[in-house]
Every structure is written in structure tokens, then in C-alpha cells.
């Protein structure tokens, strides 16, 4: 006896689910937890911003948004995990520029192709700052440059890791000012900032959002910002361009990407959801408190932006002659 068509369809659907091959209908995404890999340690701006976004997406979608910190190798470890993940939108990466537009020019080989990631959205742009330990005998960026020149090869500069924007910012300063720093790589912002506060290193070209509170509480001293314009958080603090390095302009941005092959409709949904979150007044305020300018670029705009960033950072790497063994 033949089964009714409805029963046959139901049986087929049940079989598909049991075999793990069922697909959500368009617009149903997400129907389970979404993981956002952050390829740096917890506590820094790279970690804080996606946590702010993730909390709102959790409420919006009714699905858990899990922040998964996978630090190491300048962001390459986390990036490799995401590159190899299923292209279904359930594994994303939120990261500063290094694994997307920098590391390909620093490392002899990578286990992933940075240009194959699918752009989703730029979360924010944040200027870096020149921060020094409290007992360093300088009061301005000009004095710091003079001190580093007199103590050639002895000034220690913390970085978030080899090839990160903090490292390259310091290398560009050294190149433009004819200085010789000793770079000390850490696995992210938090351990680097901890050692700066503890006096184990002399300076750190860190994101303003991570260092601002420590500066305000007197644990470190910010001498200058690296962007072209002064920061609203520190309107009295000069730029490096104002401090003897004309034309100096470096900022860090934070973007979300998906594995190659992620469906366009899923990317569109992700971008639209993130853009909606970035428009929320409380989110904007939290970003401002981090010294961050809210992003929200469409995927196509982000793709063009990353192309320009690759050109910029390759030139910076070549100019500063930065290499990683």
C-alpha cells in the first residue's frame, strides 16, 4: 500500500534532520548558536567590541552568540580555524587588521588565504596611542623620541604580537624618527598592558580604548595619538604628526568576516543585523567609551576598504622592513 504524499514528505524530512543534511529556510538564520572567533586574548579592544555586539545579537536573534578567544601567531591561529569552518554563517571572525590584510606580507606561508574570507561588516575604527610607563623620564612624544635616540637599542616597546598593528605602528615610528626599539611581543593587548603598568616595558603603541582608563587612573601615561586628528577622548593630547612626525596617520579597525563560500543571503542577514546593532544609542555610547568610531560598512564597501588596506600595510611593512621568521 502506497503512503500518502504528506506522510512520505514527513518521513523524508525526518530522515534529513537525523542525517544532519536539513537546511534552514531563507530568513530562518540563525537557528542555533553562532560562534565569533576572536584571534586575540580576552580583555583588549578586539575582544570587547564583539562582546558588545554579540550581546545585542543574542537578544535580537534569540540564539546564543559565543565569543571564542583563540590567540596566537599574530591572529593566524584563530583565522585558520575560521577559514576551515563550515561556510554556513555559524562561525565568524571578529578581528583587527593583521590576519586579514597584514600577515600575508609578513609570514613566509599561511595555512589560509586572507583574501578568501567573505567580508561581513566593519565594526569600528580606533586610533592607537603612544603610552609609556609611569617612571619613564619623558613628558611628551618629542621627549620620548629624544630619549629613545639617546638610549639607542635599549627602549623596550610592547606589542600585541609580531606583525600586529601595534607592532607595525611602532616600527613606522622607529623608521620615520630613525630610532631603534626592542620590540617585546605578547599574546594580545591585556598581557602587554599589564607589563607596561608593571614597568617591565617602556612603551606600548596600544589602542586608545584599552589604555584610556589606565591613563586616567594614573597607571600609564599617554603622550600622543597616532591618528591624523586628535581623539575626542583626549582632546588635549597631540597627535604624533603634531609631535615631530609630519603626516603620521595610523588607526586600527575591527571587522567581521565569514569563511569562503558563505551564502550571500546569510552574509546579507549578518550585515543587516550588525548594522542595526551599531545604530543603537547604547551601543554607540559604549563604543565611544572605547574610543571607537562606529563602522557599519556594507560587505562590498568592506571588500574595497580591505583592498586599500592591503596596499597601505604592504607599503608600511616594506618601509619599516618588518619581517617575521
pLDDT in tens, 195-234: 999 999 999 999 898 899 999 999 999 999 999 889 888 9
Tell me, yes or no, whether 103 and 181 share the same domain.
no
Which band of pLDDT confidence, cut at 50, 70 and 90, is reported for residue 4? very low
Higher per-residue pLDDT: 253 or 44 = 253
Q: Which one, of 146, 19, 38, 140, lies nearest residue 92 by Cα?
A: 38
pLDDT in tens, 211-220: 999 999 999 9
Task: Report, in this order, helix, strand and coil percent for the chain, each rounded to 5.
Answer: 45, 20, 35
CATH number of the domain to which 230 belongs? 3.40.190.10
Which band of pLDDT confidence, cut at 50, 70 and 90, is reported for residue 325? low
Tell me, yes or no, whether 173 and 314 share the same domain.
no
Tell me, yes or no, whether 142 and 278 share the same domain.
no
In a domain, 11, yes or no: no
Tell me, yes or no, whether 105 and 172 share the same domain.
no
Tell me, yes or no, whether 244 and 266 share the same domain.
no
Which band of pLDDT confidence, cut at 50, 70 and 90, is reported for residue 276? very high
Tell me, yes or no, whether 189 and 133 share the same domain.
yes
Higher per-residue pLDDT: 45 or 77 = 77
Question: At residue 288, does pLDDT exceed 60?
Answer: yes
In a domain, 112, yes or no: yes
CA 200 – CA 19 distance, rounded (Å): 55
In a domain, 14, yes or no: no
Say what the pTM is: 0.76
Tell me, yes or no, whether 73 and 120 share the same domain.
yes
Where is the domain boundary, 250, 268, 300?
250
Q: Given this model, what pLDDT does residue 44 score?
A: 82
Over residues 145-156, mean pLDDT = 97
- Window from 95-104, 261-270, 316-325 with minimum mean pLDDT: 316-325
Contact of 183 with 151, CB cutoff 8 Å: no
CATH number of the domain to which 101 belongs? 3.40.190.150
Tell me, yes or no, whether 171 and 223 share the same domain.
yes
Question: At residue 74, does pLDDT exceed 70?
Answer: yes
CA 317 – CA 106 distance, rounded (Å): 8
pLDDT in tens, 174-195: 989 999 999 999 988 889 999 9
Higher per-residue pLDDT: 135 or 161 = 135
- Percent of the chain at pLDDT exceeding 70: 91
In a domain, 212, yes or no: yes
In a domain, 218, yes or no: yes
Q: Which domain holds residue 71?
A: 30-125+252-320
In a domain, 37, yes or no: yes
CA 280 – CA 35 distance, rounded (Å): 22
Tell me, yes or no, whether 261 and 163 share the same domain.
no
Q: Given this model, what pLDDT does residue 70 score?
A: 97
Where is the domain boundary, 192, 226, 250?
250
Residue keyed to cell 605578547: 186
Label residue 113 exposed, middle or buried (CB < 10 Å: 0-12, 13-18, 19+).
exposed
In a domain, 295, yes or no: yes
How many C-beta atoms surround the C-beta of residue 230 within 10 A?
16
Helix (H) or strand (E) holding 126: strand 118-133
Question: At residue 137, does pLDDT exceed 70?
Answer: yes
Q: Given this model, what pLDDT does residue 323 score?
A: 73
Q: Given this model, what pLDDT does residue 27 score?
A: 53
Question: At residue 324, does pLDDT exceed 90?
Answer: no
Tell me, yes or no, whether 118 and 142 share the same domain.
no
Where is the domain boundary, 202, 230, 250?
250
Which band of pLDDT confidence, cut at 50, 70 and 90, is reported for residue 252? confident
CA 95 – CA 45 distance, rounded (Å): 10
In a domain, 325, yes or no: no
Higher per-residue pLDDT: 152 or 17 = 152
Tell me, yes or no, whether 88 and 166 share the same domain.
no
Count: domains in the chain: 2
Amino acid at each position: 500500500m502506497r503512503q500518502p504524499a504528506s506522510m512520505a514528505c514527513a518521513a523524508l524530512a525526518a530522515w534529513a534532520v537525523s542525517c544532519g543534511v536539513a537546511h534552514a529556510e531563507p530568513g530562518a538564520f540563525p537557528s542555533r548558536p553562532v560562534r565569533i572567533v576572536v584571534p586575540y586574548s580576552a580583555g583588549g579592544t578586539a575582544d570587547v567590541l564583539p562582546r558588545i555586539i554579540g550581546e545585542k545579537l543574542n537578544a535580537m536573534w534569540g540564539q546564543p552568540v559565543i565569543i571564542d578567544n583563540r590567540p596566537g601567531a599574530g591572529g593566524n591561529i584563530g583565522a585558520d580555524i575560521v577559514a576551515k569552518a563550515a561556510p554556513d554563517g555559524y562561525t565568524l571572525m571578529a578581528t583587527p587588521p593583521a590576519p586579514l590584510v597584514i600577515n600575508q606580507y609578513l609570514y613566509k606561508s599561511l595555512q589560509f588565504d586572507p583574501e578568501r574570507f567573505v567580508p561581513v561588516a566593519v565594526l569600528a575604527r580606533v586610533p592607537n596611542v603612544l603610552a609609556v610607563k609611569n617612571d619613564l623620564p619623558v613628558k611628551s612624544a618629542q621627549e620620548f623620541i629624544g630619549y629613545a635616540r639617546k638610549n639607542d637599542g635599549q627602549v623596550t616597546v610592547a606589542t600585541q604580537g609580531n606583525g600586529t598593528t601595534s607592532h607595525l605602528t611602532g616600527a613606522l615610528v622607529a623608521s620615520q624618527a630613525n630610532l631603534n626599539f626592542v620590540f617585546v611581543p605578547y599574546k594580545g593587548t591585556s598581557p602587554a598592558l599589564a607589563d607596561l603598568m608593571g614597568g617591565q616595558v617602556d612603551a606600548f603603541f596600544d589602542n586608545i580604548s584599552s589604555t584610556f582608563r589606565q591613563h586616567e587612573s594614573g597607571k600609564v601615561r599617554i603622550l600622543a595619538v597616532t591618528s591624523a586628528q586628535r581623539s575626542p577622548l583626549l582632546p588635549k593630547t597631540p597627535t604624533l604628526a603634531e609631535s615631530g612626525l609630519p603626516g603620521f596617520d595610523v588607526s586600527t579597525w575591527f571587522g567581521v568576516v565569514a569563511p569562503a563560500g558563505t551564502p550571500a543571503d546569510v552574509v546579507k542577514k549578518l550585515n543587516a543585523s550588525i548594522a542595526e546593532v551599531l545604530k543603537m544609542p547604547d551601543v554607540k555610547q559604549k563604543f565611544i567609551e572605547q574610543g571607537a568610531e562606529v563602522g557599519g560598512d556594507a560587505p562590498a564597501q568592506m571588500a574595497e576598504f580591505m583592498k586599500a588596506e592591503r596596499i597601505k600595510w604592504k607599503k608600511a611593512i616594506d618601509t619599516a622592513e618588518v619581517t617575521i621568521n
